[in-house]
Amino acid sequence: MVKQRGQPLPGLPAGLPDNEQTRTANLLHSAALRLLRRARTADTGMDLDGPRAAALSVLVFGGPLPLSRLAAIARCSSAAGRPGYG
């Protein structure tokens, strides 16, 4: 198991079995929460709302897409990307 920068490993919530699968799931859950907190901080710095940040992320990692496909992937309306809408 990997321990990051002196952070203690998270303990298992009460009532869960103490086995490798549960410990791994618990570590992944903790890592996902830390990642989401960092992403939220970065999103705030970009001054974008949720749908616009999601659309930008899809474009950065997926490349150019038609607006309708981008909206479907980002789960927002295509109007959210147009000035004066959303």
User: Rounded to whole angstroms, how far apart are CA atoms 45 and 50?
Assistant: 12
| pTM (whole model) above 0.95 | no
Q: pLDDT tens-digit profile of 15-54? A: 888 899 988 998 899 899 999 888 878 767 777 777 777 7
Percent of the chain with pLDDT over 70: 74
User: Rounded to whole angstroms, how far apart are CA atoms 13 and 48?
Assistant: 35
For 28-56, letters b (16+ CB in 10 Å) and e give eeeeeeeeeeeeeeebeeeeeeebbbbbb
The reported pLDDT for the residue numbered 32 is 92
Q: Which residue has the higher pLDDT, 44 or 85?
A: 44
pLDDT grade for 86, boundaries at 50, 70 and 90: very low
